[in-house]
Each structure stands twice: as structure tokens, then as C-alpha cells.
Structure 1
Amino acid sequence: MIFLSLILACAAAAATGILFPPGAWYDGLRKPSFTPPRWVFPVAWTTLYLLIAWAGARLAVLPGAGLAMGLWAAQVALNTLWTPVFFGAHRTGAAMAVIALLWLVVTALVVQAFGLDIWTGVMLLPYLGWLTLASALNFSIWQNNR
């Protein structure tokens, strides 16, 4: 039941991609050479959201996981916010601030997860890696499309 609740929270975050698709605005931006092909994004995010929910479900049943679950909730809220700011409002600088905060929260979550359960920490590492790439993309787009 916990996993279902957390996957629904991740699905809400994912739904912002449907409500605010990249579209012509994104296609017209100057993007860095390391931008993945468009098909990679839904594949990556589907995998990441499953791992994020699974990691959250593992954390939720551990004693002393209150801070970790607070960070989990904060990351899903920030994750949900980024897409409307970037793709909806076209505010690449504001989106950079959101993703930087998201990166910090996820880093703290990973540290907390490793302290509670090593496998849960490992499950969150791909998310942190992807956010690092996404942050670099966001920064490059922000800088090259003023």
C-alpha cells in the first residue's frame, strides 16, 4: 500500500510532462552537444520514478526514517514544480534554481538512505546521476538562450 501511494505521487510529478510538453519552444532552444535524444527522457524518468517510489517504500517502514521521508516528500514536490517552471513558464533561470535545490535535497536523501539501508541508497544513485545531467542541461540552456 505504501508503494502504491508513493508511485501515485511520482505519477503526479510525471503528469506535469503531459501538461507541459517540450514543444516548439524547446525545439528552438540552443542545447548542448550532450543533450540526450528526446526518446531517452520518458524511458529514464519511468525507470527513475519506479526506483524513487520503491526506495521511498523501503524507507517508510524503517525506524528513524522521518527525515528521509521528509526529504522524499520534498524531492517529489520540487520534481513536480520543475516542469511547469521550465516547459510551462519558459523560465530557465528559475528552473535552474528549482533543480539546484532539488539536487541538494536528493543528495541529502541519498546520504540519509545510505545511513538507513544501503540498498535503498544504491536505488537512489541513478536519480542523483540523472539530476546531475539534467542540471547541466538546464544550466547550459539558461546560459545559451537569454
Structure 2
Amino acid sequence: MSRTLTYVVFVAIALGGGVVIGVSNPPGEWYQSLVKPALNPPDWIFGPVWFVLYALVGIAGARTWLRGHLSIGMLLWAWQMVLNFLWSPSFFGLRMPSAALVVIVLLLALILAFVVNRWKSDRISALLFIPYAVWVSFEALLNASIVYLN
């Protein structure tokens, strides 16, 4: 597979997976009825932020794949995608914010492990995950706040 096609495939996996998961698990009335913390951003923010983050995650995944298909970095990338895609069904689909909190904490741990793993061998991929780590940290705080308030 060419380098360009590798990037297209990885960005498509991240963006496409995010869209499918998002459309399949809409927030709905249940979410609107929850008590949310004051720091909860308006709903329209999440789509654009995740679009950018999924593009960055896809690029980092492609870079990691091109450097070693069966590397620890690639395994960390794949498993963090699995957890990322499990969060919305846990929170919105099953309506289980506590279970979603466990998922997002594990997700954050894998994101940080990916950054540490890639830091020396592919600093660009590690840096591409920094905004993702910051946003997921913020969303973990939101998730924990919702668990606490409800």
C-alpha cells in the first residue's frame, strides 16, 4: 500500500468510525435531562473538535503503521481506538455514565502510553496525540462530573 493510501485509510478509519459511533449513539433526551457541570461546553463544540482530533489520530496511526505494523505503538494505537469507539455506546447507548467513566480513564491511559511510546522514535506522532490527550482529559472530567451530579 502506498504511503498516501495508508494515510487516507487511517484517517478514514478514525473519522469514519467516529461518525458511525456518533450517529449510532446520539445524546438524545436522556442526556439533555442530566445535570451537567458549569464547565460543560455547548453541544455543537463536540463535532468540530472530534473531527480535528480524529484526523490527527488517523495521521499518527498511519505514521506508526508505516514504521512497524506489529509494534507496541501500533497496538497502543489500535486499542485506544477500540476504547474510544466504546465510550459513546457506554455513555449514550447504555446510559451508563459510570461504565463510560471507566472506559475513558482507560482510554486516557492508553493515549498517554502511546505518547510515551512514540516520543523518542516518532515525536510527530506523539505530538499529534497531545491535543487528543488534553481533550479526553477534559471529557473525563465532564464524565466524572456527570456521574457525581446525577
Query: Are 1:73 and 2:73 counterparts?
Result: no
Compare 4-13 and 90-99 and name the one that shifted more.
Answer: 4-13
The percent of aligned pairs where both chains have the same amino acid is 36
Contact 2:68 2:74 in 1 (8 A): no
C-alpha distance after superposition, 1:48-104 (max 9, x if no partner):
000000011111122597000000000110011110110011001100010011010
Deviation at 1:13?
3.2
Unaligned runs of 5+ in 1: none
Compare 35-44 and 55-64 and name the one that shifted more.
Answer: 55-64
**Structure 1 vs Structure 2 CA RMSD:** 1.4
Contact 1:59 1:65 in 2 (8 A): no
Aligned length: 145
How has the CA–CA distance of structure 1 residues 29 and 98 changed in structure 2, closer, same or farther, with 3 Å as cutoff? same
What is the TM-score with the length of structure 1 in the denominator? 0.94
Equivalent residue runs for 1:94-113 within 5 Å: 94-113=99-118
Unaligned runs of 5+ in 2: none
What is the TM-score with the length of structure 2 in the denominator? 0.91
Q: How far apart are the structure 2 equivalents of 1:34 and 1:57? A: 34
2:53 aligns with 48
Equivalent residue runs for 1:4-19 within 5 Å: 4-10=8-14, 11-19=16-24
1:116 aligns with 121
